[in-house]
Amino acid sequence: MGDERLKVWMIAGTLLALLIILPALAIFFASGWVKLAGQIVLSIIFGLIAAVFLLFSYICIRAQAKKWGMSLLLAAIVLAFLIYAIWMGVPFV
């Protein structure tokens, strides 16, 4: 039973890594439609992660765990900046 769970987690981790790494590679090393597809996929993934962070931030703040809530809120703000940087380029470079 434990070995099967490990295989499932390894497959899930590999798929998640590919969902983040492949669009990032497309953004930096490709152009045209491939770059646009990479930007869209990476923006959707970061947007979903930011939404989950905001949800858990709200839950933490309501449960009086304000430090956790604020740190998750800060992480969501960083993800919003990353989405901006994906589309507009990094402003300080």
pLDDT, tens digit, 9 for 90 and up, residues 30-78? 888 888 888 898 899 999 999 999 999 999 999 998 899 999 999 999 9
How many distinct structural domains can be found in the chain?
1
Q: Is 6 helix (H, G, I), strand (E, B) or coil?
A: helix
The answer to whether position 78 is within a domain reads: yes
* Residue 77 is assigned to a structural domain of this protein: yes
Does 93 reside within a domain? Answer: no
DSSP for 12-76 reads HHHHHHHHHHHHHHHHHH--THHHHHHHHHHHHHHHHHHHHHHHHHHHHHHTT-HHHHHHHHHHH
Give domain status of residue 83, yes or no: yes
Q: Which domain holds residue 37?
A: 2-88
pLDDT of 57 reads: 94
Instruction: Give a yes or no: residue 80 inside a domain.
Output: yes
| pTM, two decimal places | 0.76
Cα–chain-centroid distance for residue 46? 3
